[in-house]
Amino acid sequence: MTNTQRSKTLRSLVTAEGTLELSLVELELAEPEANQVLVEMKAVPINPTDLALMFGPADLTSIKCETTANGPVARMRIPEKLLGAVRSRIGEPLGAGFEGAGTVVRAGGSDAAQALLGQTVALTGDGLFTQYCCVDAQEVNAMGESFSPAEAASSFVNPMTALGMVETMRAEGHSALVHTAAASNLGRILNRICIDEDVALINIVRKPEQVELLKEEGATWVFNSSEETFRASLTEAIAETGATLAFDALGGGKLGNTILSCMERAIAGKSPYNRYGSDTHKQLHIYGRLDLSPTQLTAAYGFAWGVGGWLLSQFMAQAGAEKVEAMQSRIRQEIKTTFASQYSDEISLEEALAPENISRYSRRATGEKFLINPST
């Protein structure tokens, strides 16, 4: 057994010339210390948070790829007017990959570390688009022999976010939800949770096949935002469910504004006229930026409304350790059912730098969820 382990790792670098580079570098990892384990990463999903770090404000249409002695390198231009947003990153290579799973192949001498040898474990952190990572034994979640790395890979971000949405709904005094991009892995998980907990959920999608998918999975309210009847149907569903809270994965554009408008219309239809709009508070939480265009608000829904960002890490800090542990315990028990994720493609680290793959997974399209297997 050698004292070090070489690990191929994906890095994102902003250069002083205004170029963003994605490349593979080799790192040396020391032998695990007493309470550490060495995990061979076998399944790491590409999440929107990873894309933001990998590409920043780069112009993806300018991508050029070349093969070097160390492997492929993908380069793309950052528009000069946007370079200021990543100026603090210049010259500092950063690692993407926030969650994933693998197999413990080496362990330190402690009982806790040794007990994990050969186990499939899930973990979160920075830079998990890598072949190996060395972490403290307390930082991994042992999934047991019945779980494959692919099943365990997405056991944190989407499941915790979906559960967090329902918890936020209750904490803020709402009784029903509206969710956009609802046919995503996260949206389908949220749909299962709401069915299980008898929470009224209004799902918004963009394609007819996504409507059928969610209805087949038991959703009651599913609407295609591209249809002419969308506003009327959404207003009717909001009136029926009493939904006054929405979670928007798009962020940009007019959809959030439309949702708030439909909420106001549904509420006003049941209330006496008020020149200032209804007194019922309507809340839009933006938790993603699938649409990078500006958020457009007309404020044509009275004065009892709010729009703000929602971030999982901030929710967890407010929820407290006991609530978070209860949520994670449920996820471990239901990872193959309620919290199961599906992937459209599995690629290697090298394939993650291929222009044709970048053009697909960077679109963040519903139904195109990529999984990187760094061990291939």
Using a 10 angstrom Cβ sphere, with 0-12 exposed, 13-18 middle and 19 or more buried, the burial of residue 242 is middle
Q: Indicate the pairing of strand 176-179 with strand 120-124.
A: unpaired
What is the helix, strand, coil percentage profile of the chain, to 5? 35, 30, 35
Residue 88 pLDDT greater than 90, yes or no: yes
pLDDT band at 1 (very low <50, low <70, confident <90, very high): very low
Q: How far is residue 99's CA from residue 116's CA, in Å, rounded to a whole number? A: 18
Q: How far is residue 259's CA from residue 202's CA, in Å, rounded to a whole number? A: 11
Using a 10 angstrom Cβ sphere, with 0-12 exposed, 13-18 middle and 19 or more buried, the burial of residue 219 is buried
pLDDT band at 274 (very low <50, low <70, confident <90, very high): confident
| pLDDT digit string, tens, across residues 190-226 | 999 999 999 999 999 999 999 999 999 999 999 999 9
What's the token pair of residue 280?
């019922």
CA angle 168, 169, 173 (to 5 degrees): 110
| pLDDT digit string, tens, across residues 219-239 | 999 999 999 999 999 999 999
| pLDDT digit string, tens, across residues 22-71 | 999 999 998 999 999 999 999 999 998 899 999 999 999 999 999 887 78
DSSP string, 138-196: GGEEE--TT--HHHHHTSSHHHHHHHHHHHHHHHTT--EEEESSTTSHHHHHHHHHHHH
pLDDT of 374 reads 96
Q: Which helix (H) or strand (E) holds 166?
A: helix 157-171
- Chain position carrying tokens 């994720």: 341
Q: What are the distances in angstroms from CA 228 to CA 118, 269, 351, 370?
A: 55, 21, 40, 32
Q: Which of 349, 376, 338, 359 is nearest to 154 (CA)?
A: 338
pLDDT band at 2 (very low <50, low <70, confident <90, very high): low
What's the token pair of residue 85?
């947003």
For 64-90, what is the mean pLDDT? 91
What's the token pair of residue 218?
């038991």
Return mean pLDDT, the chain: 94
What's the token pair of residue 302?
């009275």
Q: Rg of the Cα trace of the chain?
A: 22
